[in-house]
Amino acid sequence: MPRRISASSRRTRDGSAAGQQRGTFFNLVYALVRQIPLGKVATYGQIARLLGAPRSARIVGWAMHGNPYGSRVPCHRVIQQGGTCSPNFRIGDPDAQRRLLEREGVRFTLSGRVNLEAHLWRPDPARVRRRPAKRPGRRDTP
């Protein structure tokens, strides 16, 4: 039977563990989400773009779902692209995210979406710490 390799034991081209890279990106996500002020929201895609990984909105969602810091990282302030709350924010309580946002003064439209014109967070780009750029890979071609 072939041996299964866990994500934490997989290695990338540069020799670092794949889990370490994910952990580093997740920590950048948490640091950025901590900066979202009261009464403002950001989208998963916006967080990904600000971190220099524009196609990683889903990974931002994974980070929010696995947040180990509790209320120190205001995950409820990260919403879906069109201004809708995440249906899986709190299993068994689909309105929890909306209630938390409304307590902070976030207004919703009649269709149940966050009023993004009024509440979308627009951070100062100089304060956003982006992930380091990838080094160009070396090709081992004959």
Say which residue, 14 or 102, is predicted with more confidence: 102
Mean of all residue pLDDT scores within the chain:
82
What pLDDT score does 91 carry?
85
Tell me: pLDDT of 129 over 50: yes
Angle formed by the axes of helices 57-65 and 18-33, to 10°?
80
Q: Where are the domains of the chain?
A: 18-121
Q: What is the pTM of this model?
A: 0.74
Query: Across-strand partners of 11?
Result: 17
What pLDDT score does 124 carry?
80
Q: How confident is the model at residue 88 (pLDDT cuts 50, 70, 90)?
A: confident
Rounded Cα distance between 125 and 50, Å, is 8
- Buried-exposed string 88-127: b where 16+ CB fall within 10 A, e elsewhere: ebeeeeeeebbebbeeeebebeeeeebeeeebebeeeeee
CATH class name, domain 18-121:
mainly alpha
What pLDDT score does 102 carry?
97
Within 13 A of 139's CA, how many CA atoms are on the CB side?
Answer: 2
Which residue is associated with the tokens 């524009």?
54
pLDDT over 70 for what percent of the chain?
Answer: 74
Question: What tens digit of pLDDT does each residue of 23-74 get?
Answer: 789 999 999 999 999 999 999 999 999 999 999 999 999 999 999 999 999 9
Residue 29, both tokens: 């996500």
Cβ(26)–Cβ(19) below 8 Å: no
Supply the residues annotated as catalytic. 75
